[in-house]
Structure 1
Amino acid sequence: MTERKKVLIAGATGVVGLAAMKHFANQCIKTVAISRRTPRETYGAAHISLDLMDADACAAFAREHGDVTHLVYAALFEKPGLIAGWRETDQIDTNDAMLRNLMQPLLESAKSLRHVSILQGTKAYGAHIRPIETPAREDRSEVEHENFYWKQEAYLREAAKGASWSWSTFRPQIIFGEATGAAMNLIPAIGAYGALLKEKGEPLHFPGGAHTVLEAADADLVARAIAWAGESDAAANQIFNVTNGDVFTWRGVWPAIAAALGMEVGEERPMRAGVWLESQSDAWATLARKHGLTEPDLKALLGESHHYIDFTMASGLEGQLPPAIVSTIKLRQSGFTEVIDTEAMFAKWFAWSQEAGYLPRPQ
């Protein structure tokens, strides 16, 4: 099967898209990755720059890649500022159009297509607008609200009727990985926050607000779940929550994060860390020159992820918020049982960022 398999990754510079590209390419599976930006590393995959809002370019691409057997659709359009755009019509319509622009011509040319994986998230349960059920379950906890997920899902369901290919939808919790300049990857954002404090001789102060119990999703683990789904009958036309398998609080993992950054834990200093980071471009450029870092442009390093810090850490709120926990029983009973300790995940990604030169090495 492997020699006849060709995987197309859409959104190769995003957190999950990059992890999926790395996974399949490292398995010596023929992998083609598309995105507007060029990834720093393609891991042996072929990368093609493609704007999914350009329908003609997508059609031309599909004609050249009719041998695709698996599509991993991890492309995402987010607006500047991130949070407000989640409920705005133009953001919804853009994401809907991007999927259709790629899928429609691909369905005409890729006669051997077997599986499509697509990403959603816990916004399917309204996590961005109100407390979610504990735990949120794929078959009964969805919240009626405007979201591009529903348009994309409806399109896939309709296109798959009577077809020889199947789809799987994944709903990870907060995803952590190696992508830089992404919409939602807290590794470079937290890492930059810590490095800037450390440069001033300060410990890693905790900037968060209200207490809440959360779950993380390691990008590599999500990529392996996607690979599993592409070959599993149990995953056909199913929706799965996916997480590391444990729960965490920001205060609880803060010592592990500090240790990974080579820092001591500081005080609780409630603040909007993302807003603060926006004012630190010059300080970061100076720090990057001093340490010979890979990316001296803080905005290019963070993308929109600094906005995500304030959202996930409940900055500006006090007290105890309801937990945000999803059930992963369906995924595990279907056959994917991998887990990773969340503190070990943080250690892994900060170590990778230091080795790759995005963050200073611990002294």
Structure 2
Amino acid sequence: MARKHVLVAGASGLVGYAAMKHFAQEGVQVTAVSRRAPFETFGARFVAADLCDADQCGALFGGMGDVTHVVYAALYERPSLISGWQDREQIDTNDRMLRNLLEPLLKAAKGLRHVALLQGTKAYGAHVRRIDTPAREDRSEARDVANFYWNQQDYLAERQRSQAWSWTIFRPQIIFGQSFGSAMNPIPALGAYAAVLKERGEPLYYPGGPSNVLQAVDADLLARAIAWGGETEAARNEAFNVTNGDVFMWSGVWPAIASALGMEPGPARPRALAETMSGETALWDEIRAKYGLRAPPLADYVGWSFQYADYLMAYGAKAGDKISIVSTVKIRQAGFGEAMDTEAMFRKWFGLFRASKLLPP
């Protein structure tokens, strides 16, 4: 069998970065592709590429004949994050990006064995309505809601038909991990918000709305699930929900988050982070200079994740609007049974960001 060579698309993003790190640290040959360079590469070969450029993709991926596994974690989001999820241009762009990568690669990589594709709970319509509790892969899909997931999934299934390689789709819940500048990573968003409060000598006020029941997934755990899927017959051409294995409410984990950031938890003070944190850029720059942080200016550090944090914490919503629970029975029965305590996950990532000088010590 040919040596394993993993192509990770979207390597500077939340999931792609975790996958690149996992495979590279396992000693696997990794080619990491994204528009901007990842924070670290862990020994992976990095290639800058724009997946919207079909000619560039044809030349690049048409020359990667030894790729055996693809982790497709690339994502195009609109600046207006939440409303963009149903935008036709956003849907068409994400559809085109996957095709631009796979069409030349499928012609070149005759030893291709697996393609992993990322979705999420928008597959169940979580961004537009209350979903089934719990949402299940085989009965809860929201095919009536416009979503680039279906374009990509149908394309992948069609191209795989009668081929030796297989695909696996992963549907994680809220992902937490190490990346910055991403559209949907709550860690830098909450970390920057906390740093501003801490610098002013204030406690960590909860800025959201109703503390609803949610699920999280650690990015490293998700990366291990992706690696499992690429080598497991039971994962062949299947879709799986992935979570840490527990549930959480912001009110329950808020003390652990505050503790991980060296702060005291404060009472609820609703605040639209996407609107108000733009006024904290100068203070963030002072914090960066004071503590010698490696973190970039606020907009580059957080990306559009303040919008995402407001959405997750139900700012301005009514109680019950953000209940989002999925079943993970299918992936456990297929053989992937890892779990992680979500409180411990928050401590892990905020601790790592502080140790990496991405947040104040």
Q: Please, what TM-score do these two structures have when normalized by structure 1? A: 0.98
The answer to whether 1:188 aligns with 2:197 is: no
What is the RMSD computed on CA atoms of the aligned residues?
0.9
1:192-235 residue CA offsets vs partner (Å, 9 max, x unmatched) = 10010000010000111023100001100000000000000000
The match for 1:241 is 241
SS of equivalent to 2:190 = helix
Contact persistence 1:289–1:296 (CA under 8 A):
no
Unpaired stretches in structure 1, ≥5 consecutive residues: none
Q: Letter of the aligned partner of 2:273 in structure 1?
A: A
The match for 2:166 is 166
SS of equivalent to 1:358 = coil
* Separation of aligned partners in 2, 1:275 and 1:93: 29
Structure-to-structure mapping, 1:23-62, within 5 angstroms: 23-62=22-61
> Structure 1 residue 40: deviation in Å?
1.5
Contact persistence 2:312–2:322 (CA under 8 A):
no
The match for 1:175 is 175
1:36-71 residue CA offsets vs partner (Å, 9 max, x unmatched) = 000110000000000001111111112221100000
Unpaired stretches in structure 2, ≥5 consecutive residues: none
Contact persistence 1:284–1:296 (CA under 8 A):
no
* Percent of pairs with identical residues: 58
* Separation of aligned partners in 2, 1:301 and 1:45: 23
* Separation of aligned partners in 2, 1:296 and 1:34: 21
* Separation of aligned partners in 1, 2:81 and 2:292: 30
> Structure 1 residue 296: deviation in Å?
4.1
SS of equivalent to 1:280 = helix
Bigger shift: residues 147-156 or 273-282: 273-282
Contact persistence 2:67–2:112 (CA under 8 A):
yes
> Structure 1 residue 267: deviation in Å?
1.4
The answer to whether 1:83 aligns with 2:82 is: yes
Contact persistence 1:209–1:314 (CA under 8 A):
yes
Contact persistence 1:13–1:35 (CA under 8 A):
yes
Contact persistence 2:214–2:322 (CA under 8 A):
no
The match for 1:63 is 62
Aligned in 2, Cα 1:181/1:117: closer, same or farther, shift over 3 Å? same
The match for 2:107 is 108
Q: Letter of the aligned partner of 2:229 in structure 1?
A: A
SS of equivalent to 2:214 = coil
* Separation of aligned partners in 2, 1:261 and 1:93: 40
Give the number of aligned pairs: 360
The match for 2:137 is 138
* Separation of aligned partners in 2, 1:319 and 1:116: 39
Q: Letter of the aligned partner of 1:328 in structure 2?
A: T
Contact persistence 1:170–1:242 (CA under 8 A):
yes
Q: Please, what TM-score do these two structures have when normalized by structure 2? A: 0.98
> Structure 1 residue 322: deviation in Å?
5.8
SS of equivalent to 2:300 = helix
> Structure 1 residue 147: deviation in Å?
0.3
SS of equivalent to 2:81 = coil
* Separation of aligned partners in 2, 1:309 and 1:105: 37
* Separation of aligned partners in 2, 1:132 and 1:81: 23
SS of equivalent to 1:31 = strand
1:320-354 residue CA offsets vs partner (Å, 9 max, x unmatched) = 43621000000000000001100000001001101
Aligned in 2, Cα 1:131/1:293: closer, same or farther, shift over 3 Å? same
